[in-house]
Amino acid sequence: MRKVKRPNRGIKSRRHRGWVSTAARFLLCAATLAWAQEYRVTSPLTFEQAVLKSLHSHPELAGYQHQLDAANARAAQAGIGPRPQLGLEVEDVAGTGDFSGVESAQTTLGISWLLQGELLNQRVATARSKTAVIERQRQILELDVAADTARYFLQAMAQQERLVLALSAAEQARNALVDIRRQVNAGKVPQADASRAEAELERYALAAEDIEHELEISRHRLAAQWGERSPGFGEIAGSLSSPIPFIDVAQLRAQVADNPNVAIFLSRERVVDAEIALARAEAGVQWRIDVGIRRLEATDDYGLVAGVGIPIGRRGRNRSELAALVAEQNRYRAEMDAKELELETRVYTMAQQLLHSRHVAEALSARIIPSLERAEADTRAAYRLGKYSYYELVAAQQQLIDARLSFLETQYRAHLYLIELEKLTGLSLTQISERGK
């Protein structure tokens, strides 16, 4: 990571104090010093640290643990069957003749319960299958959180490097102003060139201030990913100039099947499988056992009573419910195929854009920027000899700055494509690079 070079204090020197306006000196120095002082007090933040902090402390991820706790509690509750029923029945009492009073009463105290062993096991299996969907939903959110964090990290890194470039351009403008002023004193160029150079320096100072504000916004967005209201880290570690890795498009497309956005449909399909098995179990015969003891007042005797209850009717009473569940299962399969095709297409699109950005970045760094650097140096030398005008000098300098900005923006877009590929395939940036070799 290139360190930010502070503007030369020569701006305030006695020799050149009148050459640069107070506004330009204040903006440039204040922006640079405030930025540098803030970043000195805390340690740099790496990409891996930012992602891990987000996955550990992102506010939305905390809710999924409560969902899992609730799902596990419901699964435990599903294993509890209906309570046995205790019944008291009195017969042949308060009638007429021999059955008047309670002398002929028959009192039965009994207990009954449903035999639901298999049904309870299926209810537990159905409840537990829903936890897999929650796990997939959490994995999807984790991918989204990691991708968002990576984007905010790259935004902050890009603003940080734009600030470096803006300060470098301001330094170049300051040096050019010194050189032009010397040419004015020698009578080689008009005073208007010096005035234009002063305005150019102020413009670069304002641009640096604008970028500094954008950098602060990006840093706050990044810190919010792990619940901080203000950044507690220093500068962003790393550089957008790092080379773009080679990738294999076919291998990346094959990796889409493991994406949680696809796998969640398989988990939902398995939930429906469990619900179908539960519906079939509920349609089966559920026996009820009754056992008790009977008291006969007339003979002062006791006896045991027992009974069995068996539901009657056809087993296919819930045929429509089963048909609805099968249709829902088929829908999940169709949606899974559609989602997989959609993600494969997005992987192909992102990969092609990444390859193009890589090609553009290589052309800029290897051929265009070196050529413009030579052109700017030649133009500056020719201007000193009076062969070129100030406008030609500024044009050459601006072309070089624009090319460096284009390289930075191209690298920034390429890294964004890498983040999207990581989100779509579930692979880390390192794995994407290794699979492309």
Phi, psi of 408 (to 5 degrees): -65, -45
Question: Has residue 185 been placed in a domain?
Answer: yes
- Cα torsion 143, 148, 150, 156 to 10°: value is -170
Return the closest-CA partner of residue 385 out of 180, 179, 188: 188
3-class SS of residue 110: strand
* Cα 291 to Cα 109: distance, rounded to the nearest angstrom: 9
Domain, as residue range, for 158: 22-81+117-239
Give yes or no for a contact between 304 and 292, defined as CB atoms under 8 angstroms apart: yes
Pick from 342, 351, 155: which is nearest to 252 by CA? 351
In a domain, 387, yes or no: no
User: For residues 160 and 215, is the Cβ–Cβ distance under 8 A?
Assistant: yes
Exposure of 422 in the CB half-sphere (CA atoms within 13 A): 25
Going by C-alpha positions, the residue among 206, 239, 197, 166 that lies closest to residue 404 is 166
3-state SS of 313-357 is CCHHHHHHHHHHHHHHHHHHHHHHHHHHHHHHHHHHHHHHHHHHH
Asked if residue 400 belongs to a domain, the reply is: no
pLDDT in tens, the chain (437 residues): 344 344 443 433 333 333 334 333 433 444 444 444 444 446 888 888 888 888 888 888 877 777 777 777 777 776 666 667 777 777 766 666 665 666 666 767 667 655 565 666 677 777 777 777 778 788 888 888 888 888 899 999 999 999 998 998 888 888 888 888 888 888 888 888 889 888 988 998 898 999 999 999 999 999 988 888 888 888 888 888 887 777 777 777 777 777 776 767 666 666 666 666 666 666 655 666 677 777 776 677 777 776 666 666 555 667 777 788 788 778 878 888 888 888 888 888 888 888 899 899 999 999 999 999 999 999 988 888 888 888 888 899 889 999 999 999 999 998 888 888 888 887 654 443 344 44
The half-sphere exposure of 304 on its side-chain side, counting CA atoms within 13 A, is: 4
Predicted model pTM: 0.66
The reply to whether 36 falls in a domain is yes
Q: Is 29 part of any domain? A: yes
d(CA 289, CA 291): 7
Q: What is the CATH number of the domain that holds 28?
A: 1.20.1600.10
The reply to whether 276 falls in a domain is no
In a domain, 200, yes or no: yes
Domain membership of residue 74 (yes or no) is: yes
Task: Pinpoint the alpha helices (H) of 186-308.
Answer: 191-224, 249-254, 260-283
**How far is residue 61's CA from residue 54's CA, in Å, rounded to a whole number?**
9
| Number of compact structural domains in the chain | 1
